[in-house]
Amino acid sequence: MQAKTTDLIAENRKLSNVHRSVIEMINELMNINLLNNRQLWKTNLQKIRKIVESVTRQRPPEYCKLWLTHLNYQLYKALEHQYQMGLESLNESLPEMQA
């Protein structure tokens, strides 16, 4: 019984660390200008996907559904933030037009 408890604690710590790491990576995406650094954005997104895939591959899909939904929502917020920032900066980078 004690061994199972220790295993569960260790597994929980591991998953908490992975979650924290992935959330930090998503937060970093919010600070990477998608218009100017598209490749860096894509590279970091692929790193996140690899980490998530390595964790979810070992578990039943129904156990991962809520976590994946949460991460997808966080990624959506990062992308939406970059989209809004891009629209705001687009006005600044366009040349002035005479009408």
- Please compute the mean of the pLDDT values over residues 48-66 and round it to a whole number: 95
Reported as a single tens digit per residue, the pLDDT across 16-34 is 999 999 999 999 999 999 8
What range defines the domain where residue 42 resides?
2-67
Query: What pTM, to 2 d.p., does this model score?
Result: 0.84
28-55 burial code (b ≥16 CB/10 A, e <16): ebeebebeeeeeebeebbeebeeebeeb
Q: 92 lies in a domain?
A: no
The count of domains in the chain is 1
Q: 84 lies in a domain?
A: no
Q: 97 lies in a domain?
A: no
Q: 18 lies in a domain?
A: yes
